[in-house]
C-alpha cells in the first residue's frame, strides 16, 4: 500500500513554499510521526511528518517550490523491514561506478542547481557530481563557482598549497576566500523585507526616546530570584516586566492600542503583545496572549516556550497573528540606541536596549545607576506627540517603580 506525502495547509494566506530540506534519504525507512521535510514559506518554517511506517520515495528535490497539497513523496507502508534487511538485487558495475564519473543531464538537476547555473553561467554537465547517481548538487555548483572566482581573482596563489581531501571542507575553504557570493532571498527573508518597506512607505513613522533606571527591577530580581525559581520552575527576567508595563501604558494611552484600516480607526480593547525573536531564518514576532490577565511567571513561561519553538523552527502561523503592540530588545546584542520599525498594522513598537552603569543626578548627587535607553516608534497618523511621550513616561514609571503594576496607578 502506497501513502502519498503531501504539503499540508498552513493558513489561508499561504499558497506555496520552498522544500528547504529533507530529513530522510530516498529509500530510507521511516516511522510514523518522524520528521520528513522542512518547508519554508514567506511567514513560517514548518515540518512535515510521516503518517505511517514504511519506506519513503522522494519525488521533489530540496530547493523546489511546492504548492499546498502537492505530493512530494510516497511511503510504501510496511516495507521498512525489507529495506532494513537490504533485500535488493545485485548492483551492476555501472551502478557502482564513482558518482563523479556520471554527468548530470539538464533534466536531472534540482531547481537550486538550475538557478545557480543561470547566475554563474556554469554548465552543470561540465561538473563531476557528488550526489546520488552522479547528480550535480548545490554544493558542487558552489565549489565550481568559487574555484573559478579564486582562479580569476587570486592568480598568484602558490600552486603548492595542499588541497583538502574532504569535499565539504574544500567548499568551505573556497567560499571563505571568495570576494563575494550570491544567493536568492529565502521566502521568509523576502517577506520580512516587504513588510519593512511597507512600514516605512505607508506610515508616518516617528520615534521618541527616554531612559529608564533599572535599579528597582534589578534589585527585585536579585532579592526574589531563588524563591521565584523554586515556586514557578522558571527564572524571572526583565522582559516580563516590560510586557506588563506595556499593558499598563496601553491602558493609560489607548491611542497606541489601535490600528488604521483604510479611513477607519480600529480601537483594540485587548492586550496581546508581540515580542520580537531573532532566529537563524530571520526575525519573527510571536504573540503573548491576554497579557493583562497573566502574572510574571505565566509570561516568562510563554516567552520560554516561544524561544524553544523558534530554535526548533516550529513557530506556527497562529503564533504570529493578532498582536496589538510589539516589544523588541536589541540590548541582548549590545545595542545602545535604535529606531525600531513598526510591525503593521500595529501603530506602536517599543525598543529596549543594553543596560549600562552611567552617572546620573539623584537628589543633587551624582550616582551610578544601571540605565537603559528606550525608544518608541509610532504612527503619527494615529498617535500625537503628546500621547507618544506620555506612553513612554508610563513605561518608565512602571519599570522604575514596579509597585505601580500591582496598584494600577
Among the options 219, 227, 318, 380, which is catalytic?
380
Phi, psi of 201 (to 5 degrees): -85, -25
The phi, psi pair for 48, rounded to 5°, reads -105, 140
From the list 17, 131, 123, the residue with the least C-alpha distance to 67 is: 17
Is 319 among the catalytic positions? Answer: no
Indicate if 248 belongs to the active site.
no
Q: Which residue reads 531573532 in cell numbers?
A: 278
Question: Is 391 in contact with 206 (CB distance < 8 Å)?
Answer: no
Which contacts (CB < 8 Å, 24+ apart) does range 289-293 have? Answer: 289/322, 291/243, 291/244, 291/246, 291/247, 292/247, 292/251
Backbone angles phi, psi at 406, to 5 degrees: -80, -35
From residue 266, alpha-carbon distances to 216, 254, 256, 269 in Å are: 36, 11, 11, 10
Spot the catalytic one: 248, 379, 384, 401: 384
What single-letter DSSP state applies at residue 113?
H
Q: Where in the sequence numbering do the catalytic residues fall?
A: 380, 384
Amino acid at each position: 500500500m502506497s501513502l502519498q506525502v503531501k504539503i499540508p495547509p498552513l493558513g489561508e494566506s499561504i499558497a506555496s513554499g520552498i522544500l528547504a530540506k529533507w530529513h530522510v534519504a530516498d529509500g530510507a525507512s521511516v516511522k510514523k510521526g518522524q520528521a520528513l521535510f522542512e518547508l519554508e514559506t514567506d511567514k513560517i518554517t514548518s515540518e512535515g511528518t510521516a503518517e505511517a511506517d514504511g519506506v519513503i520515495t522522494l519525488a521533489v528535490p530540496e530547493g523546489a517550490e511546492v504548492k499546498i497539497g502537492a505530493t512530494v513523496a510516497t511511503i510504501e507502508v510496511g516495507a521498512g523491514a525489507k529495506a532494513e534487511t537490504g533485500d535488493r538485487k545485485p548492483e551492476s558495475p555501472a551502478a557502482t561506478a564513482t558518482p563523479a564519473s556520471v554527468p548530470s543531464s539538464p533534466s536531472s538537476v534540482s531547481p537550486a542547481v538550475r538557478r545557480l547555473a543561470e547566475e554563474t553561467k556554469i554548465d552543470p554537465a561540465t561538473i563531476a557530481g557528488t550526489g546520488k547517481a552522479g547528480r550535480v548538487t548545490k554544493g558542487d555548483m558552489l565549489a565550481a563557482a568559487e574555484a573559478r572566482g579564486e582562479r580569476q581573482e587570486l592568480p598568484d596563489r602558490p600552486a603548492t598549497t595542499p588541497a583538502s581531501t574532504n569535499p565539504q571542507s574544500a567548499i568551505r575553504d573556497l567560499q571563505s576566500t571568495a570576494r563575494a557570493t550570491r544567493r536568492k532571498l529565502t521566502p521568509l527573508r523576502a517577506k520580512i523585507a516587504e513588510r519593512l518597506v511597507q512600514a516605512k512607505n505607508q506610515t508616518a513613522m516617528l520615534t521618541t526616546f527616554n531612559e529608564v533606571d533599572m535599579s528597582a527591577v534589578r534589585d527585585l530580581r536579585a532579592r526574589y530570584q531563588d524563591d521565584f525559581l523554586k515556586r514557578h520552575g522558571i527564572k524571572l527576567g526583565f522582559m516580563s516586566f516590560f510586557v506588563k508595563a506595556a499593558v499598563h501604558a496601553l491602558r493609560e494611552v489607548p491611542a497606541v492600542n489601535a490600528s488604521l484600516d483604510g479611513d477607519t480607526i480600529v480601537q483594540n480593547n485587548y492586550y496581546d503583545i508581540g515580542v520580537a525573536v531573532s532566529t537563524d531564518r530571520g526575525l519573527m514576532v510571536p504573540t503573548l496572549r491576554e497579557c493583562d490577565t497573566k502574572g510574571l511567571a505565566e509570561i516568562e513561561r510563554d516567552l520560554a516556550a516561544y524561544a524553544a519553538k523558534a530554535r526548533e523552527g516550529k513557530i506556527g502561523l497562529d503564533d504570529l497573528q493578532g498582536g496589538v503592540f510589539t516589544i523588541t530588545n536589541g540590548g541582548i546584542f549590545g545595542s545602545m540606541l535604535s529606531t525600531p520599525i513598526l510591525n503593521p498594522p500595529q501603530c506602536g513598537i517599543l525598543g529596549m536596549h543594553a543596560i549600562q552603569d552611567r552617572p546620573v543626578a539623584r537628589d543633587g548627587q551624582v550616582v551610578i545607576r544601571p540605565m537603559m535607553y528606550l525608544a518608541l516608534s509610532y504612527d503619527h497618523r494615529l498617535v500625537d506627540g503628546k500621547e507618544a511621550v506620555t506612553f513612554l513616561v508610563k513605561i518608565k514609571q512602571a519599570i522604575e517603580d514596579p509597585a505601580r503594576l500591582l496598584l494600577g496607578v
